[in-house]
Structures are given as structure tokens and as C-alpha cells.
Amino acid sequence: MSDRGETEEAIRFYRKALSLNPRYEMAMTNLALDYIRKATEPGQSQWSRRSALKEYLDCLSEAEDLLAVASRISVSDDKELSYVYYKWAVVLAMRGDFKGAWGKVRLSRAHGNAVEQGFIEQLSRDMPEPGEED
């Protein structure tokens, strides 16, 4: 739904998924992404944008909490853990914490590197990758 531009429908499905499994960190992260899409859609009233941005920030906080939990629980393999760290980097970058995002990128790389190159390019534009000592 998200990829087809059906943001409201995608939000409804992610909310349903989270009602079935409140610890589903990827659904929470994707829900946050859909709220930002909703907040920036053309034709939104100022009130709608404000409401969507609040939901977006709330979802980012929830997603970050869930990803922190997911990184500590028994993850079946490095590939899955790499993906969790990648999504956590996305959430941090969306919050404007670029240094924190780079830290999660490093962790993702240490577990198999699920990070998409497009994300690295965007993050590099926001903040060059810090050195190991940073």
C-alpha cells in the first residue's frame, strides 16, 4: 500500500499488524515512515500536517524502543540482527541523530550489512561518516 501511494490504507494495515503483535518493530518503523509521508502529502491542511507529524514522532519513539528491545532479545541470526540495526539507523536519522545513525550502521555492518546503499548516500549528505574514534 505504501509503495502504491495508498498511505491511509497502509497506516490502517500497520495499525492492525501492531494490534496483533505490539512488539513488531518493523511494522512500527514502517508506520512511522507512512506518517511522515502523510505529513508531507500535497493538499494537507495545516492541522492535518501537525497531527501527522505528532503521530510520526510518537511512532519514531515507539520504533526506537522496539528496535532496542529487538537488538537485545534472542535474534535468530546475524542477518536479522543486521536488519534490526539498519532500521534503527533509519529511525535515528529520521530524528536528526546522524551520529547515532552512523553508530547503528557500524553495528549493522558488523552483523552482515543489511544497509541499503541509498540510505548510506543520504546519510553521508546529512553528515559524513565519522571516524572510528568519534
Domains of the chain: 1-73 (1.25.40), 76-134 (no CATH)
Q: Specify the pLDDT at position 133.
A: 60
pLDDT tens, N- to C-terminus, the chain (134 residues): 988 989 889 999 999 998 999 878 778 878 887 887 787 777 777 777 788 778 878 877 877 887 777 777 645 667 778 888 888 898 889 889 999 999 999 999 999 888 999 999 999 999 999 986 65
The pTM score is 0.70
Q: Specify the pLDDT at position 101.
A: 96
Count of alpha carbons within 13 Å of 56, Cβ hemisphere only? 19
**DSSP notation for the chain:** -TTTT-HHHHHHHHHHHHHH-TT-HHHHHHHHHHHHHHHHSTT--HHHHHHHHHHHHHHHHHHHHHHHHHHHS--S-HHHHHHHHHHHHHHHHHHT-HHHHHHHHHHHHHTT----HHHHHHHHHHSPPPPTT-
